[in-house]
C-alpha cells in the first residue's frame, strides 16, 4: 500500500492548495464530492480491475484483450500516451512541489530564491541517478516515508482542528463569505459539482495500486491463473488506501479553507502548492515546520520514483512486444535517460509551476480511470451481469463527463497528452517498420510428429520444405502442388518433401511462441503452425530445423505476382505479401553466414 501510496498520499502536499485555488471557499464541499466519487466510483471500478488484471498490467491489459487486431493496438498506444502523461507529470509536478517546499522554508538559503526550475531539475536528475544505480528496497523506503508523512499530517490537521474549535469565529466568517458569494446551498452544491473535476489529482493512486499487485505474496494455494489470496489482498490494499486518503482529503480541505486567507493560495502566496506546510509552520513552529518540509520533499521526490517505476514497468511490457520500440527499450538504463530528458523538457516548458501542470496531470489520471470504467463495463456485459452493467455504466458516464469538462476548462492537459500520443504513434510506426525483418518468434517448438518428419529427412542429408497456402481443396490441391513444385523447381521424384502451412492469426501481434504440428493429409506430410506473420514465421521454422538437425534446409515457393509496394504494405499490415522475397530478406538479416543460411527456391 505504501509503495503505491507514495504517489497517492503525496498529493496531500499540493492537493489542498490546488483545491482551494480551483473551488475557493467551496473547497470542502467540492472535496466531499471528490471523495464520494472515489469511494463509489473509482474504488468499485478498480476492485474489479484487481480481480481481472492481477499481474500488474492494470486496466490497459483488459482493454487490450477486449479489442481485436490493429484497433486494440492503436487504442493501447493512445492509452499509453495518457499513462505516460500521468506518470511523467507525477515526476515533474512532485519535483516542482518539493522544490516549492524547500524554497519557502524560512531556513532555506537566499540563493534558492528564483532557483525553482534549477532545483526541480536537480531533484529529477537525482531520481535518474537512483534508477541508473539500481532501484532496490523500494518498499521499505516507501513504508518509512508514508508512515512518517501521514503521522505529521495527522498532527498538523489535529492541531488545526483544535485551533478551529477554539476560534469558532473562523467558521462563521467562512459561512458568511460563502453565502454572500454563492447564495443558497443548492447553488453551492451545483457549483461544487461543476468544479470538482479540477480536484481530480486526488484520484491519482488507483492505477499504481493495481500496478503493485505482483508484489503481494498471496497464499501457497494461489495459482498463476487465479491467485485468490493476492486478489483479495489487492482489493484490501485499494480499499484501505482510498479510505485513509478520503479522510485526509476532507480534513485537509476544511482546515486549509478555514484557517488560510484565500490570497495566500494565489501564485506567489505563502500557501501556494503547500497549504498544509503553511499550517505546520503557522501553528507548530518553524522547527516542526522544517521537519514537515523535509519529509514532504522526500515523499514528493519518492513519488517521482514510483512514477518512474510505473513507466519502466509499462513501456517494456507493451511496446517491444508490439514491435513498436527497439529492443533496447527492454533495458532499464536507456529508458531512464529517455524519461529523464522528457521530464527536463516538461519542467522547463511549465517553468516548474505546480498549478500550471495540474491540468495536464488531471487529464492523464481521468482518462486512465475512464478507460478502466469502460473496461469493467464491457467485462460485465460479456458476463451478462445486469446490475454491474448498470452501475459501471453510470460510473463511466460520470468519469466521461468529468474528463470532458476538465479538457474543456484546461486544454493544456490534452495538448501535453496529445504530444505524448503523437510521439508514441510515430515512434511505434517507425520502429515496427525497421523491426519487421527480424525473427519474431520467441520460441519454436515442434511436436513429436513434426520432429519425426524433419529428422527422418535429415538422416538422408536433405530437408525439402514446400510453402503451401491451403485453400481447402482436398487431395487434388496437394497433388497439384506436389507436381508443380517438382516440375518447376526441379525436385527429384525420389526426394521427399514436407509441406509447410502457416495459418494467419492477428497480424497486429509481433512476438509470439510458435507450435509446429505434424500431420498426414491424403498421404502427404504437413507441418502446420498458427502465426501473425507468414514470412517471419517460415524463416524462424527453417532456422530451427537447421539448428535441430544440423542440415541446412531447402524451402520452395511460388513467385508472388503484383506490385512490390503493395506487397510490402500487405506484409506490414497483414503479415503476408511477397512471401518468398520477404522470407529470404528475414533470413539474410538473421543469418549473415551464407553457408549456414537456409536456401530459398522460387519458381
pLDDT by residue (tens digit) across 439-485? 888 899 999 999 999 999 999 889 999 998 877 778 888 888 889 88
Nearest to 341 by CA among 311, 363, 317, 314: 311
Q: Cα–Cα–Cα angle for 276, 277, 278, nearest 5°?
A: 90
Query: What is the total residue count of the chain?
Result: 603
Taking alpha carbons only, the member of 516, 503, 518, 500 closest to residue 453 is 518
The pLDDT value given to residue 401: 86
**Tens digit of pLDDT for each residue in 153-194?**
999 999 999 999 998 888 888 888 888 877 777 777 777 777
Q: What does the pLDDT read at residue 109?
A: 80
Compute the average pLDDT of residues 2-15: 81
372 pLDDT above the threshold of 80: yes
Q: How confident is the model at residue 255 (pLDDT cuts 50, 70, 90)?
A: very high
> What is the layout of strands, in order, in the sheet containing 441-446?
441-446, 512-521, 524-531, 498-504, 464-467, 554-557, 599-602
pTM over 0.95: no
Backbone angles phi, psi at 279, to 5 degrees: -70, -35
Express each pLDDT in 483-494 by its tens digit.
Answer: 988 889 888 888
567: confidence class by pLDDT, cuts 50, 70, 90: confident
CA angle at 441 for the pair 438 and 442, rounded to the nearest 5°: 110
More confident residue, 529 or 68: 529
pLDDT for res 66: 67
DSSP string, 456-475: HHHHTT--EEEE----S--H
CA atoms within a 13 Å half-sphere pointing along the CA-CB vector of 160? 26
Q: Which residue has the higher pLDDT, 519 or 196?
A: 519
CA quadruple 9, 11, 13, 17: dihedral positive or negative? Answer: negative
* Predicted confidence (pLDDT) at residue 117 exceeds the cutoff of 70: yes
> What span, in angstroms and rounded, lies between the C-alpha atoms of 58 and 280?
37
Of 332, 33, 44, 69, nearest to 206 by C-alpha is 44
Looking at residues 65-69, what average pLDDT do you find? 68
Contact 495, 501 (CB under 8 A): no
Rounded percentage of the chain residues whose pLDDT exceeds 90: 27
pLDDT in tens, 330-351: 667 788 888 888 889 988 988 8
Q: What percent of the chain has pLDDT over 70?
A: 96
Write out the three cell numbers for 428.
Answer: 511505434
pLDDT (mean) for 344-373: 84
* Domain extent listing, the chain: 1-434, 443-602
Residues 16 and 285: their CA atoms lie apart, in Å, by 20
Provide the CATH number for the domain formed by 1-434 in this structure: 1.20.1740.10
Q: For residue 136, name the pLDDT band (cuts at 50, 70, 90).
A: low
Q: Are 201 and 358 in contact (CB under 8 A)?
A: yes
Residue 9 pLDDT > 80: yes
Q: Specify the range with the lowest mean pLDDT, choosing from 225-239, 245-259, 263-277, 588-602.
A: 263-277
Q: Return the pLDDT at 326.
A: 65
The answer to whether residues 71 and 289 touch, using CB atoms and an 8 Å cutoff, is no
| Average confidence (pLDDT) over 276-285 | 92
Mean pLDDT score across all residues of the chain: 85
Cα 150–Cα 118–Cα 10 angle in degrees, nearest 5? 15
pLDDT greater at residue 459 or residue 225: 459
Which range has the top average pLDDT, 95-109, 237-251, 316-330? 237-251
Amino acid at each position: 500500500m505504501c509503495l503505491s501510496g507514495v504517489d497517492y498520499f503525496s498529493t496531500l502536499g499540493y492537493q489542498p492548495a490546488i483545491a482551494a485555488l480551483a473551488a475557493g471557499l467551496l473547497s470542502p464541499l467540492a472535496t466531499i464530492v471528490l471523495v464520494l466519487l472515489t469511494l463509489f466510483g473509482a474504488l468499485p471500478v478498480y476492485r474489479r480491475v484487481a480481480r481481472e488484471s492481477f499481474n500488474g498490467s492494470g486496466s490497459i491489459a483488459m482493454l487490450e484483450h477486449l479489442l481485436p487486431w490493429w484497433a486494440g493496438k492503436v487504442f493501447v498506444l493512445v492509452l499509453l500516451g495518457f499513462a505516460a502523461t500521468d506518470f511523467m507529470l507525477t515526476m515533474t509536478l512532485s519535483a516542482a512541489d518539493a522544490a516549492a517546499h524547500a524554497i519557502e522554508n524560512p531556513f532555506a538559503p537566499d540563493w534558492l530564491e528564483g532557483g525553482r526550475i534549477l532545483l526541480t531539475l536537480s531533484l529529477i536528475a537525482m531520481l535518474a541517478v537512483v534508477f541508473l544505480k539500481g532501484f532496490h528496497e523500494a518498499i521499505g523506503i516507501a513504508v518509512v516515508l508514508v508512515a512518517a508523512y501521514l503521522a505529521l499530517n495527522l498532527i498538523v490537521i489535529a492541531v488545526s482542528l483544535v485551533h478551529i474549535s477554539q476560534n469558532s469565529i473562523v467558521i462563521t466568517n467562512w459561512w458568511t463569505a460563502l453565502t454572500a458569494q454563492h447564495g443558497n446551498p443548492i447553488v453551492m452544491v451545483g457549483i461544487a459539482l461543476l468544479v470538482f473535476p479540477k480536484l481530480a489529482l486526488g484520484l491519482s493512486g488507483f492505477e499504481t495500486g493495481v500496478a503493485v499487485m505482483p508484489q503481494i505474496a498471496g497464499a501457497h494455494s494461489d495459482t498463476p491463473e487465479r491467485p485468490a489470496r493476492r486478489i483479495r489482498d489487492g482489493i484490501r490494499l485499494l480499499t484501505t488506501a482510498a479510505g485513509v486518503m478520503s479522510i485526509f482529503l476532507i480534513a485537509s480541505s476544511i482546515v486549509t479553507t478555514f484557517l488560510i486567507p484565500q490570497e495566500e493560495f494565489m501564485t506567489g502566496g505563502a500557501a501556494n502548492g503547500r497549504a498544509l506546510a503553511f499550517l505546520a509552520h503557522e501553528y507548530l513552529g518553524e522547527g516542526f515546520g522544517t521537519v514537515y518540509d523535509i519529509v514532504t520533499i522526500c515523499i514528493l521526490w519518492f513519488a517521482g520514483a514510483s512514477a518512474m517505476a510505473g513507466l519502466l514497468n509499462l513501456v517494456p511490457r507493451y511496446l517491444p512486444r508490439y514491435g513498436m520500440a527497439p529492443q533496447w527499450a527492454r533495458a532499464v538504463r536507456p529508458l531512464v535517460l529517455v524519461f529523464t530528458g522528457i521530464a527536463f523538457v516538461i519542467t522547463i516548458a511549465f517553468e516548474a509551476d505546480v498549478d500550471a501542470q495540474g491540468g495536464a496531470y488531471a487529464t492523464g489520471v481521468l482518462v486512465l480511470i475512464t478507460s478502466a470504467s469502460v473496461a469493467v463495463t464491457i467485462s460485465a456485459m460479456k458476463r451478462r451481469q445486469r446490475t454491474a452493467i448498470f452501475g459501471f455504466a453510470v460510473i463511466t458516464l460520470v468519469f466521461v463527463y468529468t474528463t470532458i469538462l476538465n479538457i474543456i476548462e484546461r486544454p493544456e492537459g490534452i495538448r501535453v497528452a496529445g504530444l505524448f500520443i503523437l510521439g508514441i504513434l510515430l515512434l511505434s510506426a517507425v520502429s515496427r517498420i525497421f523491426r519487421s525483418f527480424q525473427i519474431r518468434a520467441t520460441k519454436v517448438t515442434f511436436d513429436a510428429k513434426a520432429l519425426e518428419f524433419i529428422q527422418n529427412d535429415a538422416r538422408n542429408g536433405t530437408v525439402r520444405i514446400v510453402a503451401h497456402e491451403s485453400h481447402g481443396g482436398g487431395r487434388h490441391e496437394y497433388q497439384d502442388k506436389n507436381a508443380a513444385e517438382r516440375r518447376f523447381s526441379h525436385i527429384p521424384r525420389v526426394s521427399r518433401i514436407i509441406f509447410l502451412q502457416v495459418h494467419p492469426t492477428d497480424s497486429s501481434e509481433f512476438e509470439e511462441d510458435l507450435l509446429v504440428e505434424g500431420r498426414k493429409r491424403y498421404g502427404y506430410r504437413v507441418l502446420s503452425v498458427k502465426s501473425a506473420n507468414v514470412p517471419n514465421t517460415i524463416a524462424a521454422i527453417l532456422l530451427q530445423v537447421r539448428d535441430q538437425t544440423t542440415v541446412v534446409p531447402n524451402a520452395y515457393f511460388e513467385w508472388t505476382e503484383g506490385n512490390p509496394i503493395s506487397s510490402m504494405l500487405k506484409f506490414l499490415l497483414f503479415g503476408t505479401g511477397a512471401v518468398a522475397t520477404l522470407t529470404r530478406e528475414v533470413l539474410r538479416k538473421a543469418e549473415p553466414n551464407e553457408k549456414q543460411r537456409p536456401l530459398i527456391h522460387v519458381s
